Amino acid sequence: MLNKAAGRRQPVSPLLAEAIAVALRAAAATDGDVDPTCGQSLVRLGYDRDFAQLASRRRAPASPSRPVPAGGWQRVDLDQENLTVQIPAGVQIDLGATAKALAADRAANAIVAATGAGALVNLGGDIAVAGPPPAAGWRIQIAADEDGISARPVIAIRDGGLATSSTGSRTWRHGRKWMHHIINPRTGRSAESCWVAATVAAATCVDANTASTAAIIRSTAAPRWLADLGLPARLVRTDGMVRPVGEWPNHL
């Protein structure tokens, strides 16, 4: 309903207002790399239905890509006090980069509030932990499907979140080319990156997922950016080589 009302102010629920606020914060923190106004770009690349249906379609019809409208996320007018949102005409909101991570954070905190016990919530690789951890921390094995490395490293976290973004997890045919779901707002196309996967640990799952998505988009500039933010990360190059960043343990 919000996307159909583009150009007009629309009432929203408290939960949707929170989700949009989180997405706009992610856009600001990444200088627009993680942009919630990329929905139209995804549609133009053929991601216009549930992914299970998209994956079974032989080939999506080709259509020209377009950059996300300049400053698209900055033109989203969110009024959290009155619970209204106005998005520009021609803009389509897509919360795929932050909403699942937000759900993980909310779920973990809700479990702790209800039980007092420690909790780990894993939503498709977006991991949030809260409350008292096990004595040795929460042990998490990092999948190696994208990098071809036989050893799958195991790390432990005690709080916050962990997220992996990958160019190989959601792919489909667009015309004669393969696309993935991480959009570079500057081109409106799937990001071309030297990394096939990025795993980041941060204070929340939202922050971890925001940083891992931006790392794919930033490509060669990602290691220094993550290091400057103090975020431990594991970056996997397209040739399978692993680049640990910051305090991430170098299992090699």
Report pLDDT digits (tens) over 185-227: 887 777 788 988 999 999 999 999 999 999 999 999 999 999 9
**187 or 181, which is more confident:** 187
Task: Yes or no: say if 44 and 64 are a contact pair by the CB < 8 Å rule.
Answer: yes
The residues, any chain, with a CB within 8 Å of residue 150's CB and separated by 6 or more, are: 144
Most confident region among 34-38, 96-100, 109-113 by mean pLDDT = 109-113
Task: Yes or no: say if 18 and 137 are a contact pair by the CB < 8 Å rule.
Answer: no
List of domains in the chain: 10-86 (no CATH), 99-245 (3.10.520.10)
**132 or 145, which is more confident:** 132
Per-residue pLDDT at 8: 93
For residue 231, pLDDT beyond 50: yes
Classify burial at 227, counting beta carbons within 10 Å of its beta carbon; exposed 0-12, middle 13-18, buried 19 or more.
Answer: middle
For residue 25, pLDDT beyond 80: yes
Per-residue pLDDT at 135: 95
Task: Yes or no: say if 215 and 93 are a contact pair by the CB < 8 Å rule.
Answer: no
- Mean pLDDT of the chain, nearest integer: 86
For residue 102, pLDDT beyond 50: yes
For residue 82, pLDDT beyond 70: yes
Among the ranges given (110-119, 122-131, 144-153, 173-182), the one the predictor scored with the smallest mean pLDDT: 144-153
Per-residue pLDDT at 83: 97
Per-residue pLDDT at 56: 65
The Cα–Cα gap between 112 and 188 comes to 40
pLDDT bracket for residue 17 (50, 70, 90): very high
Q: Kindly state the average pLDDT of the residues 22-49.
A: 84
pLDDT bracket for residue 100 (50, 70, 90): very high
Per-residue pLDDT at 147: 44
Distances from the Cα of 141 to the Cα of 20, 72, 125, 234, angstroms:
31, 37, 11, 13
